[in-house]
Amino acid sequence: MSANRKVLFVNACVRPDSRTRQLAQYYLDRMQGEIEEINLERENIQPLNSHTLAQRDQDVALSITDEYTYAHRFAQADEIVLAAPYWDYSYPASVKAFIEAVNCYGITFRYENDKAVGLCRAERLVYIQTAGGLIGRFNFGYDHVKALCQTFYGIKEVVEFRAEGLDLEDSDSEKLVNKAKKEIEEYFRKQK
């Protein structure tokens, strides 16, 4: 991996002692390149409403897209790391608001012959999550992000690292997190 790569770290961890954040940091510590963080807890990204959606549609129609910084930053990253704890079968609401800010026609995707064509430079998006309970087949947050990446943004490789069951009775949360760290180490070994 090149040292001049741009890595966008989207941090949706709200707790200061977030295990998801710790796992994400473990991944980031193994990366090369310039890491830019968007901490969703500190940003004021509002969900789209009828007014802001109409304004964005008008701006896109007039090619006035300078103010859509989240979409530009997402589109220009070489790799994206999204750290989002598993909440209510999905991710925190801040991730949905961020996705709405990123999903911008003419910046992250466009249509050709009635099909979405991705405009993002990223080769890969890495989704990192932890859960107190078991995720199992109800991985709707990851599934949503993966579908957007591969359908809209042109990001073919979407990788997930997770530690789950951390708060279950008799679980060894440290052992479960270390298992996820070993998966990260193995992933980087295969990348060489």
| pTM for the full predicted model | 0.94
For residue 4, what pLDDT is reported? 83
- Give pLDDT, residue 63: 87
Cα Rg of the chain (Å, integer)? 17
Q: Please give the DSSP secondary-structure letter assigned to residue 87.
A: B
Q: Which pair of tokens denotes residue 30?
A: 């193994």
- C-alpha 148/C-alpha 179 separation (Å) is 28
- What distance in Å separates the CA atoms of residue 130 and residue 141, rounded to the nearest whole number? 12
Q: Are 174 and 23 in contact (CB under 8 A)?
A: no
In our burial notation (b when 16+ CB lie closer than 10 A, e otherwise), range 33-70 reads: bebeebebeeeebeeeeeeeeeebeebbeeeebeebeb
β-pairing verdict for 6-11 and 34-39: parallel
pLDDT along the chain (192 residues), means of 10: 84 95 98 95 94 92 89 97 96 97 95 96 97 96 98 97 97 97 97 83
Task: Locate 112 and state its tokens.
Answer: 């050709």
Residue for token pair 């599934």: 143
pLDDT of residue 74: 98
User: What pLDDT does 65 receive?
Assistant: 85
Domain 6-191, classified CATH 3.90.1150.10, yes or no: no
Domain ranges of the chain: 6-191
Q: Is 83 exposed, middle or buried (0-12, 13-18, 19+ CB in 10 A)?
A: buried
Secondary structure (DSSP) of 21-66: HHHHHHHHTT--SEEEEEETTTS-PPPP-HHHHHHHHHHHHTT--T
How far apart are the C-alpha atoms of 182 and 47, rounded to whole Å?
A: 36
